[in-house]
A and B are shown apart, each in its own frame.
Chain A
């Protein structure tokens, strides 16, 4: 402590190097340690995730072998992997993925667009909120699976019905987040913009839209998870292919290995969709990452 104090109060001339430049800590050392810290953190995070995956696989193996649950009904990781390989080789996985992804993508695109648009309308305009708010509030507790019979009556069991069900669920999910985001914009932004004489259309595009950006990213992330929930409802309600359709067929033949494959597919797709939206979204709303 004593040495630190003396050093601090040494006259400036003594700490200034001969060149006349102000004394500065050497650049390289702290920068390197900072970088290695970052790299270390990335490695540690990846290692932790790997450890979790390995732990789950081991636990799964142990439970499957223990016979707590009948071995016929609870496949080991290896048996599941073998089911996946045979499904892949026969082309079932590929065609199911294509079918399901297509339904999710189209339904999500429609639902996200409509949900965002309505969210803006009801969040921005009190009149829109008064008209549409009660309708949406009424629909929100009605789950996608309850809409399946109506969808079948209207659209049959073709693709349109699947899009409808997914879009229905996504609209409601996305609307809530976007509406809330628009309604919660700090009033000072709009106030300042109005004060500088921006016209309403400019305020919408330059202030309200970007200010809602972070909420839209959240809305789309939540919407994508809801899309997969609705997809399962739609495919269980009548389809000729798709991941959830396959789950139902496999269930009738007690092919639990194949069922596990289907469930894992759904999980991976959900994670991938969320990752994609979060990565692209957070880059677009970079200012709100703090």
Chain B
């Protein structure tokens, strides 16, 4: 097998575990609470009201990995954006740890399908941006950003601009940037949706590896049942009209990764929720 940049990250020489917090001590992780949180949009043209997320109560435990799974319009992205602080709640509240969420903050790193890298910054500068708030010395910041790039297998691409990188490489830079911010929560909105199937598997493995070595709480939005089954400890099934959670599946004590029959049963059960007869 040739050692292209995209496959290099699956090698065993990863050094993610070596990251200590930039502010000293281990990065903390925190639980996220939604309490009767709802989001209603008013259409600018018709003035029509749409309930994107009906009043929802849910808790995401510190350090857990939860997939939000459902079709378009089920409110999964709205829920994520509410936690990110991108949308205003119509009622209720969202908290992380003991803080009420009112706006975006560095305690919650967001990874989007469109990468959202700054095209005028090199890979290194993009990661350094996430370290801005730690007020490190210039050389310390660069070294730290470089080590995060190395942890996603991109040590050699530090000087490349996003336009010079493949989609998979760009998403790895985005992931390195998110991890560099030492977030309490990692919020991912269909992060691998734009990648080809092979690169997506590689990215999923990388994500699992990074997550196992940190204590970050992960919310992962997807419409891919298999992706949710491969990655998550817990799956929240969501349904549109109005957007809401219809099922809460705990997979922690299941053996889906080794038991194909069990997995198939779970797959069918999920489809049963998502495709009501």
Assembly CA distance A193 to B118 (angstroms): 9
**Also in contact, A188 and B114, with CB within 8 A (given A195-B109, A288-B119):** yes
Q: Is B133 an interface residue (CB 8 A)?
A: yes
User: Which chain A residues numbered 189 to 241 have a C-beta less than 8 Å away from chain B?
Assistant: 189, 191-198, 202, 206-207, 210-211, 213
Q: Is B84 an interface residue (CB 8 A)?
A: yes
- Say whether B106 contacts A195, CB under 8 Å: yes
- Say whether A188 contacts B120, CB under 8 Å: no
CB distance from A206 to the nearest CB of B (A): 7
- Say whether A196 contacts B106, CB under 8 Å: yes
Q: Is B237 an interface residue (CB 8 A)?
A: no
- Say whether A213 contacts B120, CB under 8 Å: yes
**Also in contact, A197 and B116, with CB within 8 A (given A192-B110, A287-B163, A290-B163):** no
**Also in contact, A197 and B133, with CB within 8 A (given A188-B112, A290-B163):** yes
Q: Is A269 an interface residue (CB 8 A)?
A: no
Q: Which residues of B contact A191 (CB under 8 A)?
A: 86, 104, 116
Q: Is B105 an interface residue (CB 8 A)?
A: yes
- Say whether B163 contacts A196, CB under 8 Å: no
Considering only CB atoms and an 8 Å cut-off, how many residues of chain A contact the other chain?
Answer: 22
Chain B residues touching A, majority SS: loop
Q: Which residues of B contact A193 (CB under 8 A)?
A: 118, 129
- Say whether B120 contacts A197, CB under 8 Å: no
For residue B132, which residue of chain A has the nearest CB?
A198
Q: Which residues of A contact B110 (CB under 8 A)?
A: 192, 195
Q: Is B161 an interface residue (CB 8 A)?
A: yes
Q: Is A22 an interface residue (CB 8 A)?
A: yes
Q: Which residues of A contact B162 (CB under 8 A)?
A: 287
For residue B129, which residue of chain A has the nearest CB?
A196
For B120, give its contact among A22, A202, A211 (CB under 8 Å).
Answer: A211
- Say whether A189 contacts B106, CB under 8 Å: no
CB distance from B129 to the nearest CB of A (A): 6
Q: Is B238 an interface residue (CB 8 A)?
A: no
Q: Which residues of B contact A213 (CB under 8 A)?
A: 120
For residue A186, which residue of chain B has the nearest CB?
B116
Q: Which residues of B contact A290 (CB under 8 A)?
A: 163
Assembly CA distance A191 to B86 (angstroms): 8
Q: Is A285 an interface residue (CB 8 A)?
A: yes
Most chain B beta-carbon neighbours within 10 Å: one of A196, A207, A211:
A196
Q: Which residues of A contact B11 (CB under 8 A)?
A: none
- Say whether B116 contacts A188, CB under 8 Å: yes
Assembly CA distance A191 to B129 (angstroms): 13
- Say whether A189 contacts B116, CB under 8 Å: yes
Q: Which residues of A contact B144 (CB under 8 A)?
A: none
A-B contact pairs, 10 of them (CB 8 A): A22-B2, A188-B112, A191-B104, A194-B103, A195-B84, A195-B85, A195-B110, A198-B129, A202-B132, A206-B118
What 10 additional pairs, Cβ within 8 angstroms, besides A196-B130, A196-B181, A288-B119? Answer: A188-B114, A189-B118, A193-B118, A194-B104, A196-B129, A197-B105, A198-B132, A210-B120, A213-B120, A287-B161
